[in-house]
Structure 1
Amino acid sequence: MALDVVTNDASALTEENLEELAGMDEAFGVEQLLKAQEDWVLITTARFGSSLQGFTFSTLERIGGTPCVLIGLMSVKRTSKRDQVLRGLMGEAYHRALMAFPDEDVVVGSRFVNADARIAFKDLDGLTPSPDEDAVGEERAWGRRLAKRFSIDKKYDAKTFTASTGAQDGYLDFEALDPTKVDADLVAMMRSVPADKGGAMVVYGWTMAEDLVKLGKRS
């Protein structure tokens, strides 16, 4: 069965829709989803038939003139098809970016609480922060810009790209099918995130215009 990925306006979600999203029984409850509906413009759902497999709240906008895809909240159901669902949700995000920002380089950013979810950004260049790489001034500046956009800047540390608390009203929720295949250096880096206290790390990367044409092309 083919994966059906659809994007609509988040403002059009009904109480029944929100209950369905919360009923996927992963990271987010109705209260967090209501906030996401207020904060983000688009809702993307991924389904096999009528069965919800994952969803994303996101926004396409410019920060300081630079085109951005901001993933405010994403959750993928823990099934054997989770990798396919993640690819479908990210592919839709890239397609929307291509339609909105043709011929431009685009920043893609989100919040993370574990190393597994970083696979969502595997096609991006300049992924920041990364293990054993010291971010320079402009890279740290982008982290601060995104932290402010995610409304976590008051608890944000620009050196570690991490907000210590109050940062989990939305993040990229994904668990690897085989945790042993997750890069050990990434796992070590993400251990510094106080996820049990509500902390999260801001992560971003770039897709160049020529790459976005390929990433955003629908099959």
Structure 2
Amino acid sequence: MAIEVETKDCTQLGDAELAEMADLCADGPSRFEVGVLSKAAEAWVLVTLAREAGRLKGFSFSTLERIGGTPSVIVGLASIKRTSKRETVLRAIVNDQLRRAVLAFPDEDVLVGTRFATVSGYEAFKTLVDIVPRPDYLATGEERAWGRRLAKRFGINASRYDERSFVVRGDNNYPEVLDHETLKPEKLDPGYAEFFTQVDDGRGDALIAFGWATADDLLKLT
């Protein structure tokens, strides 16, 4: 069955959909309940839902906005169900968000920023360029500034964020990240795993990461 993707305003989310999302999270590490998901719906503008045969397989809260004039896709809480098609679901959600970005910001490169709890999250960045942090690369001052901007956008107190490691210190709860577990960890650059040596799972730490979708690549999605 094909993956069906729908993106809509968070204000259009109903109780039944929030319950579906909570059920999906209950099968993963986050175990977010309806209360947390309701707050996410209030905090974000858009929600993308991916279904197969009518069953929810993944979702993502996000916004399209300009940060300091830069076109951006900011991804908040998101979760992909652990099925054999999880990579297809993730790709479908990301592509739909990027298609909307090219409509909102035609002929412009777009920054995509989010948080990861594990290295598997980097699979969402497969089509992006100039990813930060990335292996064998020292982030520039401007890129570290982007990390601070994103931390602020996520409502993270500056005292909890390390701009050199891009790590957010947790508050003993599962972080509101893009939650995904890859089926093919061997296909991810092993260097990415190094960024998670400072991530304390038990404390709920997360890594802020971002990359760029070029105007030429975005045009191919239209």
Q: 1:17-36 residue pairs with structure 2 within 5 A? A: 17-24=17-24, 25=26, 26=28, 27=30, 28-36=32-40
1:82 maps to which of 78, 83, 86: 86
Residues 32 and 170 in structure 1, CA contact (< 8 A), matched pair in contact too: no
What is the correspondence of 1:152-163 to structure 2 with a 5 Å cutoff? 152-154=156-158, 155-163=160-168
Tell whether the 8 Å contact from 1:40 to 1:72 is kept in structure 2 after alignment. yes
CA distance in 1, matches of 2:43, 2:5: 21
Determine helix, strand or coil for the equivalent of 2:202.
Answer: helix
Instruction: Give TM-score scaled by structure 2 length.
Output: 0.92
Q: 1:162 Cα deviation (Å)?
A: 0.9
Percent identity over paired residues: 48
1:124-139 paired onto structure 2 within 5 Å: 124-139=128-143
Distance 1:36 1:133 in 2: 33
Measured in 2, the distance between the counterparts of 1:53 and 1:119 equals 17
Give, as a single letter, the amino acid of the residue that structure 2 aligns with 1:37: A
Q: CA distance change for structure 1 residues 36 and 165 in 2, over 3 Å: closer, same or farther?
A: same
State the one-letter code of the partner of 1:163: V
- The answer to whether the 8 Å contact 1:43/1:56 transfers is yes
| Runs of at least 5 residues in structure 2 that lack an aligned partner in the other structure | none
TM, length-normalised to structure 1:
0.94
Structure 1 gaps of 5+ residues are: none
CA contact (8 A) 2:131 2:211 kept: yes
How many Å apart are 1:169 and its aligned residue? Answer: 4.4
2:208 match: 202
1:95 equivalent among 92, 96, 99:
99
Select which of 33, 40, 45 maps to 2:49: 45
Deviating more after overlay: 98-107 vs 28-37: 28-37
> Over aligned residue pairs, what C-alpha RMSD do you find?
1.4
* Contact preservation (8 Å) 1:176, 1:182: no
1:165 aligned residue (161, 164, 170): 170
**Matched AA of 1:162:** V
DSSP 3-state at the match of 1:23: helix
Alpha-carbon distance in 1 for matches of 2:111, 2:187 = 27
Aligned residue pairs total 216
- Distance between the aligned counterparts of 2:174 and 2:161, measured in 1? 13
Query: Which residue of 65, 76, 93 corresponds with 1:72?
Result: 76
